[in-house]
Amino acid sequence: MIDILRAIWLIFPSYVANASAVLLKGKTPVDFGRKWRNKPIFGRGKTWRGLAGGTLAGLAVGTLMNQIYPTFSDGIESFLILFSLAFGALFGDLMKSFFKRRIGKERGEKWIVADQIDFLLGSFLICFLMNREWFLENFKLNYIAFLLIFTPLLHLVTNILAYALKLKKVPW
């Protein structure tokens, strides 16, 4: 498989996890509405349903992908790799919100680049911690570099498209 397609394939479960959290948006916030130093810990945009549903959706799609084209190892190892990618995506998103609140940005306010690559960094980190050997063998440095550039661009294009289709009110 050519490198670009393989890189996108490898990160696809994270894309699914991230997008599913938005679609499944829940009610109960992860921080239960609590504050820290007068600002929300994570904010109302991070819910338990998004966290759990996104993780499960990424895991499910990844498992299906692995049946079609085995790429994520096998057995319990593949479960752990896919879990780390899917959960890592939401974990990265959550950590981003933590720091976003600390610098005083409101829930939903724009934070360019951080908003687009938070979930990638989370997936990379948690997957690396989960299975260093598999991660280093599969997520080559050039794959990581490509995905860090490609993902914000993809984000931009899909948002403009969603705006053009009147699914979104603003083109970002």
Q: What are the strands, taking DSSP E only, across the chain? A: 35-36, 39-40
40 strand-pairing partners = 35
> Which residue is at the shortest CB distance from ligand CTP?
50
Q: Name the residue with tokens 């998004």.
A: 50
Cβ-based nearer residue to ligand CTP, 70 or 171 = 171
Measuring CA to CA, how many Å separate 57 from each of 93, 101, 115? 16, 27, 20
Contact string 115-154 vs ligand CTP (x = CB under 6 A): ----------------------------------------
Cβ-based nearer residue to ligand CTP, 51 or 61 = 51
* Residue 145 to residue 155: CA distance in whole angstroms: 16
Note whether 45 binds ligand CTP by CB under 6 A.
Answer: yes
Burial class (CB in 10 A: 0-12, 13-18, 19+), 93: buried
Cβ-based nearer residue to ligand CTP, 9 or 152 = 152
Contact string 10-39 vs ligand CTP (x = CB under 6 A): -----------xx--xx-------------
The encoded tokens of residue 65 equal 């992908």
**Among positions 6, 9, 80, 107, the unique one binding ligand CTP when judged by CB under 6 A:** 107
**Among positions 61, 89, 90, 127, the unique one binding ligand CTP when judged by CB under 6 A:** 90
Residues contributing to the site for ligand CTP (CB under 6 A): 21-22, 25-26, 43, 45-47, 50-51, 90, 93, 97, 100, 107-109
